[in-house]
Amino acid sequence: MNIYDTVDCPYCGYENDMSHALTDGLSDDNKLDWECQKCDEEFEVTVEFEPSYSADKIVYHECDKCGTKTRNIYKRGMVFPFPESLEGKSFCKSCWAEAYLKECEKGSNIKL
Ligand SMILES: [Zn+2]
Ligand SMILES: [Zn+2]
């Protein structure tokens, strides 16, 4: 939710706290009936959801085999199966795929 979780009553102008309004869920049209916390008049509230964004730094990892810097790194312990023939911890996709295919061809001693 965003920070604007109050709504002004169309009758008396009171700022109703809506922060708990969605605990019972919301209908498909994003509307709900709300009783003013001050004047007890009932009114219709339309809930608008704002898009939200989050950001991360772009991190480049260096392949332990060929030295390529890549954003899409294959790490031992995070990727399964991981080819035993690769020495090191982090590899670019092509080094990983190459070793993986080789082990597949060999009849596979890949630990799953
Ligand atoms: Zn009111
Ligand atoms: Zn590589």
Q: Which ligand is nearest to the CA of 64?
A: 2
Confidence at residue 4, expressed as pLDDT on a 0 to 100 scale: 66
Q: Predicted confidence band at 1 (pLDDT cuts at 50, 70, 90)?
A: very low
pLDDT tens digits, residue range 18-68? 888 887 777 888 889 999 999 999 999 988 877 888 888 999 999 999 999
Whole-model pTM above 0.75?
no
Tell me the CA–centroid distance for residue 56 and ligand 2, in Å. 24
Domain boundaries, the chain: 6-46, 61-105
Tell me the CA–centroid distance for residue 95 and ligand 2, in Å. 4
CB 6 within 8 A of CB 14: no
Tell me the CA–centroid distance for residue 38 and ligand 1, in Å. 5
Average pLDDT in the chain: 88
End-to-end CA distance of the chain: 41
Confidence at residue 24, expressed as pLDDT on a 0 to 100 scale: 74
Q: Is 111 strand, coil or helix?
A: strand
Tell me the CA–centroid distance for residue 102 and ligand 2, in Å. 15
